[in-house]
Amino acid sequence: MSNESPPFYRTQYQIIAEKDTSFCGYQWTKAIERGLSIDGPRFLGYYRSEGQQVYYRYYSNCSEREWLMYDYSLESGDSVYLPFNQSYPQYADTLLHVVKEVYYANFEGVERKVLRLEMDNNFAFFDDFDGEVVWVEGLGSTKYPVPAAVCLMTGTIIPCGQGRHYVQCIQTQDSILYRHPFDPYCSTLTTPVVFPDKDDLKISLSPNPVHQGALLNVQYQLPLAEDWRLLAYNVYGHLMETHRLPVRQDSGRFSLSTAGWPAGVYFVHLVNGERRLRTMRVVVE
């Protein structure tokens, strides 16, 4: 999943379904979020399916609220109340949505029902907030598939699923279920890679410090694997540069341009899949 903020910053997250757990009389799946700007996994809550409905809860305490997250049985013209940020005093904890369109589309060889919903309120807090929700049956929202209490019950600015979030890929360990039509990003690893100790990963950046606008030279020697990337962030967590290393080449060199990087401190992460394996500090003068 990706989140973009103007004018060019970008952050990627992964939402991962962990093992099922039982409480409150149901089987629930725990969801966590991982991202390169997040220190460790972040808990998102629990979800469960019941027929064509999917329900969500943040707390395992059975006295706490359970929310309807998806209802794939809806048809055009139907309406449903969906969770909404409670920090806006003029609105309740749910808002009425109306199904504006229902159609079927092919996703990775499987025909699925698609529902386009709109809020039954003519308002917008920001240009980003369009009030539209798109569901794909069996997959969820194409913007942000799993809500979290931080979106529903705290003072966040933009509610869950809004803003510039969009899903790039949905996949299991064995197959890909959904790819964004214009910006897909799916892991292509079919067998696990055995990584050496972090100290054995050979990668260097020079010169460091580097003059603003000059080239930062990268030399590396890594295990032969897919999905090696270098990602450069500023101290505010904004992604400045992404470079994907060649799939069938375990060593080499290339250069990153620092044009457009203001003077300051940057962190360059060596990652493979969801694993951040090395972080290097770079100073731009």
Task: Write out pLDDT tens, residues 117-172.
Answer: 887 764 444 444 456 788 999 898 887 777 665 555 544 434 454 455 778 888 87
Q: Do residue 164 and residue 207 come from a single domain?
A: no
Given a contact cutoff of 8 angstroms between Cβ atoms, the answer to whether 261 and 238 are in contact is no
Task: Judge if 227 and 94 occupy the same domain.
Answer: no
Q: Is 186 inside any structural domain?
A: no
Element spanning 9, H or E: strand 9-23
192 within domain boundaries: no
pTM given for the model? 0.60
- Provide the number of structural domains found in the chain: 2
Domain final residue, candidates 179, 208, 231: 179
| Tokens (6 digits) for 251 | 């060593």
| Mean confidence (pLDDT) of the chain | 75
15 vs 12: CA distance, rounded Å: 10
Whether 122 and 212 map to the same domain: the answer is no
Is residue 255 domain-shared with residue 147, that is, in the same domain?
Answer: no
CB atoms within 10 A of CB 263: 11
Do 127 and 239 sit in the same domain of this protein? no
Q: Which domain holds residue 226?
A: 198-284
pLDDT in tens, 176-208: 888 887 767 776 544 444 455 555 678 889 999
Residue 177 is which amino acid?
Answer: L
Residue 156 lies in a domain: yes
Q: Are residues 157 and 81 in the same domain?
A: yes
User: Is residue 184, in this structure, part of any structural domain at all?
Assistant: no
pLDDT in tens, 36-85: 545 557 788 899 999 999 998 888 889 988 888 899 999 999 998 877 65
The sign one gets for the Cα dihedral 143, 148, 153, 154 is negative
